Amino acid sequence: MTLKLAFSNRGFWLLPFFLWATMQSFAQGQTANGTVRDATTNEPLPGVAVNVVGSSTSTSTNEQGNFTLQNIPAGATLEFSSVGYTAQRVSAATNMMILLDVEQSELDEVVVVGYGTVKKSDLTGAVGSVSNQTLTKGGQFNALAGMQGAVSGVNIVRSNSKPGGGYSIEVRGLSSISSTNEPLVVIDGVPGANLDKINPDDIEKVDILKDASATAIYGSRGANGVVIVTTKRGVDGKPSVSYQGYVGFRQYMNLPDMMSGNEYVQLARETRRATNNNEYISDETIFSDPSELLAVQQNNYFDWVSAVSNTAMQTNHTISATGGTEDTKYSLSAGYYNEGGMLYPQGYDRYNLRANLDLTANRFLNFGGSLYLTYDDRETGNSDLMQDAIRMRPTQHPNSLVDGTELFRYPSNGLFNPLVTQQNEFNNTKATNILANAYVSLKPIEGLELRSSFSPYIVNTQVGQYRGVYTKALQGTAAGATNSLRKYTDLNWVFDNIANYKWESGVHRLDITGVFSLQQNQYENIQAASRDLSFNSLWYNLQGGEMTGLSSAYTRVNLMSYLLRANYTFNDKYMLTASARYDGSSKLASGNKWALFPSAAVAWRLKQEAFLTDVDWLSDLKLRLSYGRTGNDSVSPYSTSGTISGPRYYVFGEDVIGNAPNNLRNDALTWEKTAEYNLGIDFGLFRSRISGSVELYNRLTTDLIMSRIVPTHLGYGSITDNVGSVRNKGTEVMLNTVNVVTDNFRWTSVISVAYNHNAIVDLAAKEDMGRYSPQLEGMMGDYANRWFIGQPIRTNWNLMTIGVWQLGEEEEAARYGQRPGQFRVRDFDGDGAIHNDRDRAIDGKRQADWNGGFTNTFEYKDFDLAVHTYWRTGARERNQFYVSYALENNNMNFNNLRKDYWTPENPSNTMGQPSNMGPYRDQNSTVSTVSHVVQSTDFLKIAYATLGYTFKSSLAEQIKASRIRLYATVQNPFIFTSWSGFDPEQPSASIGGTDLMTRSVLFGLNVSF
């Protein structure tokens, strides 16, 4: 409460500055006039905005490019700006002649493509980029959150909603059936780093390599795309210090629509009625707990979700400094982020330190390095707390209504008091991430650069758990508490040696890069657990109880790579890129460790051709075509060699200690390979007021690495093998538009849209699927795993619910062994029986077809407003929350989602009768269940809305600042969806493993000096 009041007072103190800043005006006196022309064509430019810097005074040029400003301050500076041109600042005068250059910043933008950079105008592959401004505009604590919907073909979802929860990312669909589909993340040249740990304020830019010609540069690591993160570095100039920070609060939103107290009581009555020949029984019989009965009689109901939750604070602060000279450049920053938990004791703290230094010894030798340190502390508390709070009946109270005693276990349904268990369980993760890089660069002759860099990435993690006696796990009956502690270390390093040669002569440009790279990943852990602790020592006193477990592990993986890439440009119109990477992985079987991954791409800048140079409305047009092959070695270390079990005891007359193979080795296991074609078009229209790109791709992944079932007489159930192929085809569109530009107002939009079609092409162990079901006639696949050739990887195979048996249908229902009030499923072959296989059908897929984003930015004088939405459509998934809370398994035991359930007086056709659902309820399978528990995950989310005000430079200069901006942000203000769970982005998640959606309101300040 103190923090809220302090912030409110601070906001009141700043209010006069808001009012005063908006009414600032300059002393009057000078007149300025002149003409504005195109610097290339010398044609007059109408509609150019002419602003007096530090003032709200402005005008625009007329049809002849002329302008006049009267009564402006003496010595004023004018800024000239127009869409498609580079802005200029000039001292005010009379008879001015202003020549504006065509804006080239977008085409000259540098894109990081792996082991080098390239101008966007010379790019031949499919690459999406996200700026720091986009990442931080919505006040997101995680860079991936800021990227949602910002790049077409990149699908990002939050995988966990508890404080500090991470995000998952997919690029261009699913390429693997059982292995990871996450792209490779490269941070400052270090592959495999964790983007969740990076402060978005520290990131300069994120480049996403999408097609195989771009990702092939990373060979075996690039099959699922590559995300390249570049952090901020020093620049030549005087020191600049900046602060970015915000403070705010979080509250639950989109709460599931649970029954009220009276609705639950009626449900309980209907539940008992259904088992009593549809005759009601007394409340005294239904509610055997005297406290519950009293609650019913008094209409005294308890809100458990509100009781265990609270409004949480959220804050972020970053201070940075950058500067340098021509020979020495530096960049430093420190950051702190805190996300309070809605449920005690949840919370997340993250500390970041960053330092970059680049030194130029002479014109031949450069040296530098960077260090990024993150320490975070995440407490997730009782994993079942929210689940139990939602399950608790409104008729149940923390203390008995009869005698006031605190309750722990409720005999009527076996639940435990969440307010008690909340205080007695802790799950804590502390991690230290060290990301470092040191490089030396030598330029012995003109055009040639030799560069070596060593980049270690070290992660030390501690995971501790404590469960007191009065928890759901120990049920108040154990002799003492339990605890466990796990510590593990990931030590990864990369040693890159790069030779780059650039040559240019006339209309020819050539850029050749050669790389030799070594990489090692080393992992080790130790963990222990104990029980019957006499007091709460968390996980720091394992010896205080009886040890119940002790184990350790170690793995090491090596990767060696050779790479050659060439970029050739002719006359700034025709571009060719070719690369080949040769990778060797220690994971794979002997004889199959090495593989070659080639790629090639061409591009044609049509706008540079003579027949288009005079087309004024066309600012840019480029065609791109590429092909590439990448790979994947996604198997567990040593799995191809065959591992040995721990000691086993055998009796052969006397005890003998021996070992046994853990798995079948596969000497033929080789790389999972991906080949992809990509056709791209980059365009700009009307002086780039409309610009963007369109991508068409076709990606085929072969030799999929996954487990294959083997005959049981071999003594094992499966073997890791190359067993099939998957195809992804799709279209991606990115659009940037400048919608409106006037003297004081500007409206721009960024639109991303992506479509992806995913299908299994072939399987090594395939069979005729028609013998299982007529609905699969003519199809091949693997029925045991529900993999259908020609269908998406994540296909639903369900019994199809067609309603509820009604009164008057007793005779027909009896043919199926059912009665009115029970769910009814389709009998496809009409034989009067429901067969578990023959009467199933394909019921959509668990992968969206379409996703995208839409960002609108409005600027009016010194105010700015940004609104970002993102959406996804085309998937149907089993709703885990619905299954758990919509009468499927609960009936009256727990509280339920508010549903229109069937009774003799209410013949609902969407929900069965409580305690009389029949045999066709959820079947506890994500893949095969009944269709009424599968719902559309379509949604549209307003990710954030940010309103800001930038103080005039004259005011900022009074405190020696170059820029001051205040803003307010609302994150997740609205969601539009038919999904009945808590979040359609996490359809299969148990509420115990994640959390409900939250809405954040943030108030921030940006200051630069």
- What separation in angstroms does the CA of 460 have from each of 202, 373, 408, 636? 22, 12, 38, 21
Dump pLDDT digits (tens) for 522-573: 999 999 999 998 888 899 988 888 999 999 999 999 999 999 999 999 999 9
Q: Is residue 178 part of a domain?
A: yes
pLDDT band at 865 (very low <50, low <70, confident <90, very high): very high
Q: Is residue 133 part of a domain?
A: yes
Residue 648 carries which side chain, given as an amino acid letter? R
pLDDT score recorded for residue 863: 94
> Do residue 74 and residue 126 come from a single domain?
no
Judged by DSSP in three states, 898 sits in coil
> Do residue 62 and residue 147 come from a single domain?
no
- Residue 634 to residue 639: CA distance in whole angstroms: 11
Going by DSSP bridges, is the β-strand pair 184-187/226-231 parallel, antiparallel, or unpaired?
parallel
> Do residue 79 and residue 153 come from a single domain?
no
Going by DSSP bridges, is the β-strand pair 365-379/347-360 parallel, antiparallel, or unpaired?
antiparallel
> Do residue 915 and residue 782 come from a single domain?
yes
pLDDT score recorded for residue 11: 39
Q: What is the CATH number of the domain that holds 195?
A: 2.170.130.10
Q: CB neighbours of 926 closer than 8 A, spacing ≥ 6?
A: 846, 877, 878, 988
On the question of pLDDT at 1 being above 50, the answer is no
Instruction: Give the pair of three-digit tokens for residue 613.
Output: 């140079």
User: Is the Cβ–Cβ distance between 911 and 804 less than 8 Å?
Assistant: yes
Q: How high does pLDDT run on average in the chain?
A: 88
Give the residue from 235, 263, 298 where a domain finishes. Answer: 235
> Do residue 87 and residue 114 come from a single domain?
no
Q: Is residue 153 part of a domain?
A: yes
- Residue 37 to residue 48: CA distance in whole angstroms: 10
- Residue 294 to residue 323: CA distance in whole angstroms: 71
> Do residue 183 and residue 37 come from a single domain?
no
Q: Residue 95 belongs to what domain range?
A: 2-103
> Do residue 93 and residue 111 come from a single domain?
no
Q: Is residue 775 part of a domain?
A: yes
> Do residue 139 and residue 75 come from a single domain?
no
Give the residue from 887, 904, 932 where a domain finishes. Answer: 932
Q: Is residue 691 part of a domain?
A: no
Total number of domains in the chain: 3
Q: What is the CATH number of the domain that holds 68?
A: 2.60.40.1120
> Do residue 162 and residue 69 come from a single domain?
no
Task: Give pTM, 2 decimals.
Answer: 0.86
Q: Is residue 198 part of a domain?
A: yes
> Do residue 770 and residue 908 come from a single domain?
yes
Give the residue from 72, 103, 134 where a domain finishes. Answer: 103
Q: Is residue 186 part of a domain?
A: yes
Judged by DSSP in three states, 142 sits in coil
> Do residue 124 and residue 82 come from a single domain?
no
On the question of pLDDT at 4 being above 90, the answer is no
Instruction: Give the pair of three-digit tokens for residue 785.
Output: 């795993």
Dump pLDDT digits (tens) for 421-475: 999 999 999 999 999 999 999 999 999 999 999 999 999 999 999 999 999 999 9
Q: Is residue 968 part of a domain?
A: no
- Residue 84 to residue 103: CA distance in whole angstroms: 5
Dump pLDDT digits (tens) for 971-990: 999 999 999 888 999 888 88
pLDDT score recorded for residue 759: 95
> Do residue 902 and residue 774 come from a single domain?
yes
pLDDT score recorded for residue 650: 59
